[in-house]
């Protein structure tokens, strides 16, 4: 999102219609406004991946040092919103598929490297993750509900489902080098 007016519109829509509201995304980020017939219909925000996630870390099979070095190669889909007045079957999965195709090139242009894996956290029972499944994301399991700063062994935020989408067939190679 390169224009200030678009950035302000993205912030406003997320604040008004997304259940998490607007908070700055951490670290490197890309935000998208999706249009149809010159009207915004959806918003996506991608940012830094979670530092630790047991299901993801097992799936990748990396060590602590590999994670520390290569975590930036994972991008988190931190916000996804289809505006409440938009109704279109399969729209969500179509948008996710398009984002997975375009984000690596955009990330390369802005940050100088290509991510190899997308991740997202889906809060149940609020959402089922159906659109991620339909867009061929891989379900890995549940978080522990600790959040970034939660105490060890205690749930401090809602438990969420973790989904990932490999952007490269050999995504584990750069993550575990």
Of 31 and 150, the structure prediction assigns the larger pLDDT to 31
Share of the chain above pLDDT 70, in %: 92
Helix (H) or strand (E) holding 75: strand 74-82
Rounded Cα distance, 19 and 2, in Å: 25
When comparing pLDDT for 21 and 2, which is higher? 21
- The chain-wide mean pLDDT, for the chain, equals 91
Average pLDDT of span 105-117 = 97
Phi, psi of 162 (to 5 degrees): -105, 125
Looking at residue 59, its pLDDT comes to 97
Query: Could you tell me which residues come within 8 angstroms of residue 109 by beta carbon, excluding any fewer than 6 positions away?
Result: none
pLDDT of residue 125: 78
Count of residues in the chain: 177
Per-residue H/E/C for 137-152: CEEEEECCCCCCCCCC
Q: Which residues pair with 165 in a beta bridge?
A: 118
Q: Whole domain around residue 77: which residue ranges?
A: 4-176
Average pLDDT, integer, range 39-68: 95
User: Cα–Cα distance between 105 and 87 in angstroms, integer?
Assistant: 29
The strand pair at 30-36 and 74-82 is best described as: unpaired
pLDDT tens-digit profile of 38-47? 999 999 999 9
Query: Tell me, what's the pLDDT at 175?
Result: 98
* Spatial distance between the Cα atoms of 23 and 56, rounded to a whole number of angstroms: 24
104 φ, ψ to 5°? -55, -40
Neighbours of 21 (CB within 10 A): 11
CATH at residue 170: 3.40.630.30
Domain count, the chain: 1
pLDDT above 80: residue 157: no
pLDDT at residue 154 tops 70:
no
């Amino acid at each position: 999102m390169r224009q200030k007016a678009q950035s302000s519109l993205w912030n406003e829509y997320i604040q008004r219609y997304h259940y998490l509201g607007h908070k700055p995304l951490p670290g490197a980020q890309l935000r998208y406004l999706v249009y149809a017939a010159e009207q915004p219909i959806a918003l996506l925000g991608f940012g830094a991946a979670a530092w630790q996630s047991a299901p993801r870390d097992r799936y990748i099979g990396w060590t602590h040092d590999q994670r520390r070095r290569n975590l930036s190669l994972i991008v988190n889909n931190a916000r996804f919103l289809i505006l409440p007045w938009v109704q279109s079957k399969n729209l969500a999965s179509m948008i996710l598929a398009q984002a997975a195709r375009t984000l690596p090139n955009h990330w390369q242009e802005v940050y100088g490297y290509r991510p190899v894996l997308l991740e997202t956290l889906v809060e149940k029972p609020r959402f089922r993750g159906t659109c991620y499944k339909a867009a061929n994301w891989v379900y890995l399991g549940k978080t522990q509900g600790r959040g970034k700063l939660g105490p060890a062994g205690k749930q401090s935020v809602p438990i969420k489902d973790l989904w990932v989408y490999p952007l490269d067939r050999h995504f584990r190679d750069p993550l575990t080098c």
